[in-house]
Amino acid sequence: MASISSPSNISGPGEPQPGPQFLILAQILRPHGVRGDLSIKVLTDFPERMNDLGSVYVGLDPDKPERFTEHQVVWAHRAKKDHWLMRFEGIESREAADLLRNRLIFVSLANAVPLEADEIYLFQILGLEVQTVEGVVLGRLTEIIATGANDVYVLKGELYGEVLIPAIPSVILRIDVPAGKMTVQLPDGLLPDSPAA
């Protein structure tokens, strides 16, 4: 459930949130023991909420929620770092647990950890039209690359083709989710000398 925060430049709190209605919480790795326990890898920015889960959903494809199955969490315990152990109600054998191997665990957006007023989920910026403060449209944000220092946004448009920009406050001036736009101030040398042919 990755989110981003940047003071004073995100608009749209309280607006209907576009995109998926389920957020990925963890991935089931394999059975643990013989009583149906699961070894999972937590993928959320809020691992502390793993201790307070009720209903979760399990599936393979985030884009096919109609194929998810709902499960009640009996308990969840951290094993080490981002690896946890979890038990679902009704999963009581190693064989039953093995049927869930490699599936993803989701939480509904309605039950997700509430974000602060200046935060949005990363999925909400995918597809935004990105333009400079001068009004030059660079394209749409198609991908987010996680790096050690800061994320990098991949833009694709007709004018310059593919452009990579650093996701830092001095570059990302404003994100307006309801309007579908992002305004950026690019440092010198980031764009090609001439537009794409």
How do residues 188-197 score in pLDDT, each as one tens digit?
888 876 565 5
Query: Smallest Cα–Cα separation from 26: which of 82, 90, 105?
Result: 105
Q: CATH: 1.20.120.1200, 3.40.50.720, 2.30.30.240, 3.40.50.300. Which one for 126-197?
A: 2.30.30.240
pTM listed for this prediction: 0.60
Given a cut of 50, is residue 165 above it in pLDDT? yes
Q: Where exactly are the structural domains of the chain?
A: 22-111, 126-197
Res 49: pLDDT: 78
In sequence order, what DSSP letters do the residues of 54-88 get, joined into one string? -EEEEES-TT-GGG-EEEEEEEEEEEETTEEEEEE
- Higher pLDDT residue, 86 or 113? 86
Give the pLDDT band of residue 4 (cuts 50, 70, 90).
low
Considering the four listed CATH numbers 2.40.30.60, 1.10.1740.10, 3.40.50.10860, 3.30.160.250, the one that applies to the domain covering 22-111 is 2.40.30.60
> Comparing 68 with 22, which gets the higher pLDDT?
68
Looking at the predicted structure, is the pLDDT value of residue 18 above 60?
no
Calculate what percentage of the chain has a pLDDT beyond 90: 51
Contact in structure between 128 and 177 (CB atoms under 8 Å): yes
Ranges 13-22, 48-57, 113-122: which has the least confidence: 13-22
Same topology, domains 22-111 and 126-197? Answer is no
What is the SS3 assignment for 22?
Answer: strand
